[in-house]
Structures are given as structure tokens and as C-alpha cells.
């Protein structure tokens, strides 16, 4: 027996996978309302950081739907091992948000607030890499792509800017140099881009090795 909420969530996940623009927007609003009403009880972050965590969480969930890590079968939202999700997709969403928060705290440890559930957990147990790996990297094919997508979400702002302009907007180095005048020359920009790629590669490799060892 399926509940109205399960039916609604199945419709949203299926529509998201089918690239239905209206349903994508509906799922965004559904997750957004829940996140902003509940995140303070789960972790502590200022509004700007919470916005960033929300964005990265939604992108991760969207990519999980695209790669069929969660999908709809027989009117139910299915997850790992082809089993129905144990809770609602909002619980799943907040699960990813917790992991994104852990990543954020690792970068800014002073923000681990002992007053919140997550803050206490971090102080007492530290960062659980296994939980991180299970949630984000459980697809069967091209795990490296999953890992890279995740590492990109917490790259430095400057690297993010350069690589986005180069690979997403497909701008050449001369154009990027005009748009980022703080970089002195084309060679400096080229070196910076190379360093960004190398640091991304090192992080992704480390996570990949941890994944293989786990």
C-alpha cells in the first residue's frame, strides 16, 4: 500500500529523470522548503554556507537520479541494492546534506557546533569516511566521474571560476584573462589552470583509492 507522499515522490523522481522542466522545478521547491525549515535542527551553518550546502546537495541528488542511483520502479522510489528507499526522498536529501556539511566542516572546523546533532557527532566520532563513500559513490560505472563531480563542488572559488569558464562556457584563455584581470598574463593563467587540474586530480585520486580500499 503506497501513501500519497510515496506516490508524489515517485512522480517527482521519475519526472526529474525524464528531464521534465516543470517537475524539476517542483522537486527543487519540495526539497528547498524542507531544507530551510529543518536544517538548523541538524547542523549549524550561517545562511550563506547553508545556501551553498543546499545547492551542492541538490546537484548531488539530481546527478544520483540521472545516474539511476535512485530510480522509480513499480511506483516506488528505489535506492541501493534495488531496495525501496527506507524513508522519504527528503530523508535521503538531508542525508546528502549532512555529508556536504561534514565536507564543509572539514574545511572550516570552527563551525562544528556541539549544540546540534551533527556538531556533537563530529566532535565525538570524527568524520566517517565510510558513510561518505556509501552515500555518494555507489554507482556501478565510472566512479571516478562521481568523485570528480563531488570534488569540484568544493574547489576553491578561483579554480571553479577558471575551469567553469574554460570547460563549461568554452572560452579561450585570452577571453578568460580579460574577464579575470587580477591574473597578470596568459602564462600565469595557464599555470593556474594546470595547478587547479592537478589539485583536483590529486584529491580525486585519494578519494578513489580510499574507495577501492574500503
Partner 1 sequence: MDNINFQDRIDEYLLHDETMSEEEKVQFLKEIEEDAEKKEQYEFTKNVKQAIVSRGEKLKAMTEFQKEMKSHYHRKTWLWISSIAAVLVIGFFAINPLFVENSPTDNVRGDENDVFEMTAPADSIDTDSISSDTITSLHK
* Interface ranges with partner 1 (CB under 8 A): 24-25, 28-29, 32, 55, 58-59, 62-63, 66, 142, 144-145, 148-149, 152-153, 163-164, 166-170, 190-191, 194, 197, 200-201, 204
The answer to whether 31 touches 61, Cβ cutoff 8 Å, is: yes
Q: Which is nearer to partner 1, 29 or 129 (CB)?
A: 29
Q: Which is nearer to partner 1, 16 or 122 (CB)?
A: 16
**The C-alpha cell of 146 is what?**
562521481
> Which value, in Å, is the radius of gyration of the alpha carbons in the chain?
19
**Least distance to partner 1 from the beta carbon of 198, Å?**
9
Q: Which is nearer to partner 1, 36 or 127 (CB)?
A: 36
**The C-alpha cell of 34 is what?**
524542507
Residue 45: other Cβ atoms inside 10 A:
23
Q: Which is nearer to partner 1, 17 or 166 (CB)?
A: 166
**Least distance to partner 1 from the beta carbon of 22, Å?**
9
Chain-centre distance for alpha carbon 2: 29
Question: For cell 515522490, what's the residue?
Answer: 9
**Least distance to partner 1 from the beta carbon of 180, Å?**
16
What are the two backbone dihedrals, phi and then psi, of residue 71, each rounded to the nearest 5 degrees?
-155, 175
Amino acid at each position: 500500500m503506497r501513501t500519497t507522499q510515496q506516490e508524489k515522490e515517485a512522480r517527482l523522481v521519475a519526472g526529474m529523470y525524464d528531464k521534465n522542466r516543470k517537475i524539476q522545478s517542483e522537486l527543487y521547491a519540495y526539497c528547498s522548503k524542507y531544507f530551510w525549515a529543518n536544517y538548523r535542527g541538524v547542523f549549524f551553518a550561517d545562511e550563506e554556507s547553508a545556501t551553498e550546502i543546499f545547492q551542492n546537495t541538490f546537484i548531488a541528488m539530481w546527478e544520483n537520479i540521472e545516474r539511476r542511483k535512485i530510480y522509480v520502479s513499480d511506483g516506488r522510489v528505489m535506492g541501493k541494492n534495488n531496495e525501496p528507499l527506507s524513508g522519504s526522498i527528503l530523508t535521503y536529501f538531508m542525508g546528502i546534506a549532512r555529508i556536504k556539511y561534514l565536507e564543509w566542516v572539514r574545511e572550516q572546523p570552527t563551525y562544528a557546533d556541539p549544540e546540534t546533532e551533527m556538531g556533537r557527532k563530529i566532535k565525538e566520532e570524527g568524520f566517517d569516511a565510510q558513510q561518505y563513500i556509501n552515500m555518494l559513490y555507489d554507482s556501478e560505472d565510472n566512479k571516478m566521474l562521481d568523485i570528480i563531480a563531488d570534488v569540484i563542488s568544493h574547489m576553491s572559488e578561483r579554480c571553479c571560476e577558471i575551469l567553469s569558464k574554460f570547460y563549461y562556457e568554452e572560452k579561450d584563455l585570452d577571453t578568460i584573462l580579460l574577464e579575470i584581470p587580477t591574473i597578470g598574463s596568459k602564462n600565469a593563467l595557464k599555470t593556474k589552470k594546470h595547478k587547479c587540474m592537478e589539485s583536483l586530480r590529486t584529491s580525486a585520486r585519494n578519494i578513489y583509492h580510499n574507495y577501492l580500499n574500503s
